[in-house]
Amino acid sequence: MKKTINDAIHDPVQLAEVIRPFQGTQTVFPVDVFQIAESLNLFIKFARFESNQAGRYMQPFDQDDHIHLVVLSATDDIQRQRFTLAHEIAHYLRYVYAGISVEIIEAGKVDRKEEEKFVNTFASHLLAPNEKVEDVLPTFKVGDYVPLENIGEMSWIFGLSPLAMASILAYRFDLIDGETDPKILKHRVTTYLNDNTDYDVNKFLETKSALYCQVIDAYRFDLFTIDEHQERRKVIRYIYNEMAGEGIDISIEEVAEIFTDLDLHETKSQFMKTGKQRVIEALGQCEIYRMLAQNNLTFPSLHDIRNLHRRLYQYAPHPEAGGTFRTANASVVGSGLSVVGFQDLPVQWHSLSKEFDDFADVASDLSNSEYLKRALEFHYSLTVLHPFPDGNGRVARAFLNWLLKLRDIPFVFFEKEEMKKQYLGSLSSIDAFNDYKILQLLYMRAIISALAD
């Protein structure tokens, strides 16, 4: 007879077996723990913890509150986020089906260490059940043990960190040679990984991308909206970082002043009268994101990119030049991208426009991760098309954020100089190898970071 959650609630291994099928009709590895949470009506939110905390299960405040929430650290690696979520799922199940609340644990009615041991055992077996580990062992085992050099690739199968994989092999299977005291094992694994970086990069990126896709597909973007004040702060930060990334000398305080004055006085804004280039471009950037902040956006056409470009330069001395194609060859500074020659622009634009219309026809049928992948493909195509004399990057990123907003996905921007370099580097990787995985990973990680703002 098939066990239920109630049957298994006091046995972590059996409970993991009962819960794993909640990921869907087909058992997949790495286990889709985010889909499991969704199937259990457990909501997920990302945050930045001040401490080294990895996550927290938030039980309902009272009997009238039916929201069960897990908060995950947005700064943790995806493998740790997955294990943390599995851990917190166990806390949720123990609260709902066994009545083990935070208050009961704090009152000492349930031993905290034993409870943590239970939920960690559940998480370990949910993500890496004995049967599956034994199934793949022949590929990685050498003699009587699994050597450290094989742990990294083995961990990818289960979506675990190498340390978590090593711990499973050491304590569940006794398959790690040498000292396996927890502190010593952590030091051994960390030291080995730091000293040995020779691994299959393509397979590593594929695994990472698949794990982040699980997050993007299961996350309820529509449930966690931000208020108008938070939205304004994010837009101001976005505009500042976009302009700073283009080498425009402007402070975030100046951007905030321009944005606020434009909001209050519209065309009578005092900044309309300035002839300063940085202010003119800040005004245009503000106009773009005031438009994108509206709630009545519809699916764009490629022609809307020209409209965005007109908005960007609508306060320039010659606004009629906005939206017009360049008439000379160009390059993307700092990227090495192969940009389309200006003579080929009209034909390439027409071809891309038809492809985008095809995307628009099927967009509503795509999962979030598939939708993002297609949107990023067009983002790259726009970047190498480079249709305008200036402002191409800002307009292309604004167009991408337009597409993201239609799925309730927050605006993405790159705040740190290192991230900006990664962004240009990921575009160059597509140019050189036709490989979108790095750009996809960069954006999926940036989306999770934006969810914590």
Predicted confidence (pLDDT) per residue in 241-291, tens digit: 988 888 888 999 999 999 999 989 888 888 887 778 889 999 999 999 989
Lowest mean pLDDT among 42-46, 110-114, 428-432: 428-432
Query: Pick the residue with more confidence: 202 or 352?
Result: 352
Among 217, 399, 229, 410, smallest CA distance to 307 is for: 399
Q: In a 10 Å sphere around its CB, with 0-12 CB exposed, 13-18 middle and 19+ buried, how is residue 408 labelled? A: middle
pLDDT of residue 64: 67
Locate CATH 1.10.10.2910 in the chain: 5-127
pTM value is: 0.93
- As assigned by CATH, the class of the 221-451 domain is mainly alpha
Q: Are 30 and 20 in contact (CB under 8 A)?
A: no
CA–CA distances in Å: residue 238 to residues 57, 288, 379, 397, 447: 31, 11, 18, 11, 13
Q: Looking at the predicted structure, is the pLDDT value of residue 215 above 70?
A: yes
C-beta atoms surrounding 415 within 10 Å: 15
Q: Are 74 and 48 in contact (CB under 8 A)?
A: yes
CA distance 56 to 73: 9
pLDDT of residue 223: 82
Residues, the chain: 453
- Quick one: tokens of 150? 């094989």
What's at 42, amino acid-wise? L
Q: Are 387 and 351 in contact (CB under 8 A)?
A: no
Q: Looking at the predicted structure, is the pLDDT value of residue 416 above 70?
A: no
pLDDT of residue 26: 75
CA distance 15 to 413: 41
Tell me the three state secondary structure of residue 434: coil
For the range 200-204, what are the long-range contacts, defined as Cβ-Cβ under 8 Å and sequence gap of 24 or more?
200/153, 202/435, 202/437, 203/153, 203/156, 204/156
Lowest mean pLDDT among 114-118, 206-210, 243-247, 323-327: 243-247
CA distance 288 to 390: 16
Q: Are 34 and 214 in contact (CB under 8 A)?
A: yes
- As assigned by CATH, the class of the 5-127 domain is mainly alpha
CA distance 423 to 248: 18
CA distance 368 to 32: 15
CA distance 279 to 316: 10
**DSSP secondary structure of 235-289:** HHHHHHHHHHHTT----HHHHHHHHHHHHHHGGG-GGGG---HHHHHHHHHHHHH
- Quick one: tokens of 61? 């405040």
Q: Residue 100 — very low, low, confident or very high, per pLDDT cuts 50/70/90?
A: very high
% of the chain with per-residue pLDDT over 70 = 98
Average pLDDT over residues 425-451: 92
Strand 69-73 relative to strand 55-58: parallel, antiparallel, unpaired?
antiparallel
CA distance 57 to 44: 9
Alpha helices in 40-143 (DSSP H): 78-98, 102-106, 112-127, 130-140
Q: Are 88 and 56 in contact (CB under 8 A)?
A: yes
pLDDT of residue 247: 84
Residue 350 neighbours by CB under 8 Å, 6+ apart:
none
Average pLDDT, the chain: 92
- Quick one: tokens of 397? 């990123």
Beta bridge partners of 43: 69
Average pLDDT over residues 90-105: 93
pLDDT of residue 196: 82
Query: Pick the residue with more confidence: 124 or 223?
Result: 124
Tell me the pLDDT tens digit for each residue of 15-74. Answer: 999 999 999 877 789 999 999 999 999 999 999 998 889 999 998 877 666 789 999 999
Locate CATH 1.10.3290.10 in the chain: 221-451
Q: Are 94 and 9 in contact (CB under 8 A)?
A: yes
